[in-house]
Structure 1
């Protein structure tokens, strides 16, 4: 549950964002999608050191 002032972003939107970032830098879509899923999973499990901040 989000606390006051926090923003909740849907997992699908996170994955889309990471894929977009990675493909724009030259990564192939398959690898970008795999990376996005792993980073999102890290955040969703509460391991923020292994999530989106790695991007």
Structure 2
């Protein structure tokens, strides 16, 4: 399960990549059980509702 905190972490990585002018297509979250993508669309949803 991807939490709000995980999405905020991904948002920070996407923002840092933009500031550094570095390409970043998808951030992945690795946990003990799985590796899950956190697409920018998921992060944008947090910023609109949060």
Would you say same fold, with TM above 0.5?
no
TM-score, normalised on structure 2?
0.45
Greater share of residues in helix = 1
Greater share of residues in strand = 2
Report the structure number with the largest CA radius of gyration: 1
* Structure number with higher relative contact order (C-alpha < 8 Å, ≥ 6 residues apart): 2
TM-score, normalised on structure 1?
0.42
